[in-house]
Structure 1
């Protein structure tokens, strides 16, 4: 069990670092936005894994808040980019 936890933590950490690099270096705003969505999704996965490992639901409101933030952020950016392309 501990090996699975370590491997999952390393993979989530690598995904988060890759997303942070893309946020910092990304050549366009769209790259940065997608990387921030990936970072939020990675945080959601990490919180969900922590909840499963420790067998509790104490951080469920944080998980739901991040999910709401990810959805609202993606939809608002898509609407903004769609409106910008129409002109």
Structure 2
């Protein structure tokens, strides 16, 4: 076993740990945004794992899947960021008026 293949298998192990962590966040995430980011992390881990697998096997069979997963991740992240910003602006309340020392509005 060469050093490169050993590094590849170690990388795949760490990527599997990252995928397990992201799956945990999908199941236990307190907010919908946490779950959406975890799905994006899973796509990144999938792309990275396929890339390492291709490097270990000296092939390029999965390059289309890597590109498609990357495009889906980018588009979903950009869409999520847009709706998160729009939702934050829509949910902002009007500031409450300041009251003076006599109890009237300032």
Superposition TM-score, scaled by structure 2 size: 0.77
Return the offset for 1:56. Answer: 1.2
Aligned length: 87
Cα RMSD (Å): 1.1
User: Is 2:64 the partner of 1:52?
Assistant: no
Question: What pairs up with 1:5-44 in 2 under 5 angstroms?
Answer: 5-44=8-47
More helix by share: 1
More displaced 10-residue stretch of structure 1: 20-29 or 30-39: 30-39
Report what 1:4 is aligned to.
Answer: 7
**Long gaps (5+) in structure 1:** none
What is the rounded CA distance, in whole Å, between the counterparts of 2:71 and 2:22 in structure 1?
19
**Secondary structure at the counterpart of residue 57 of structure 1:** coil
* Runs (5+) with no aligned partner, structure 2: 91-106
The separation in 1 between residues aligned to 2:6 and 2:12, in whole angstroms, is 10
What residue in structure 2 maps to residue 71 of structure 1?
74
TM-aligned CA deviation for residue 7 of structure 1: 1.5
Q: Contact 2:54–2:62 (CA<8 Å) still a contact in 1? A: yes
